[in-house]
Copies of this chain bind each other. A is one copy, B any other.
Amino acid sequence: MFSKACEYAIKASIYVAAQSLEDKRVTLKDIAAEIDSPVAFTAKILQQLVRNDIMQSTMGPTGGFQIEKSLIDTIQLAEIVHTIDGDGIFTRCGLGLKKCNAKKPCPVHDKFSVIRDELREVVGNISLFELASGLYVGLTHIKR
């Protein structure tokens, strides 16, 4: 469904958000340990998220990553997915055809449109706050 990079991005964002709710900044190492991901690879992904204003980073000692508290409930899962994987998953033809649309559809067009729309609707309406609170209260997990 999502690329591995995107999975890491989502998990990292949820963890950073949960910590930010407590005004805690977290280091790259923490994040990688918490979501069970390769450190250096995770660093690249976090950089993308920072460049796209999903989160903020601070260099130097006491540095790390955090998400502006007031924005946590305005960031939707869709923004993270879009930043890392683009919008292919929401728009791409199920059979990979370049020219597939309602007028000249591929054989699975109609049925897959429904699923893609539902996916778009779902990830477009889950906020980072919702995801992070579930983690915070121990209702969900994120590691392995």
Question: Which A residues are closer than 8 A to B by beta carbons?
Answer: 1-2, 4, 7, 10-11, 14, 77, 89, 92, 94-100, 104-109, 111-112, 114-115, 118-119, 122, 126, 131, 134-135, 139-144
Contact = CB atoms under 8 A, between A and B. Distances in A.
A1 B77 contact: no
B1 A142 contact: no
A140 B102 CA distance: 10
Contacts of A1: 1, 89, 92, 94, 112
Counting chain B CB atoms within 10 Å of each CB, the highest count among A98, A105, A109, A115 belongs to A115
Q: Sort A-B residue pairs by CB-CB distance and give the 4 closest, nearest first.
A: A107-B131, A107-B140, A7-B96, A111-B122
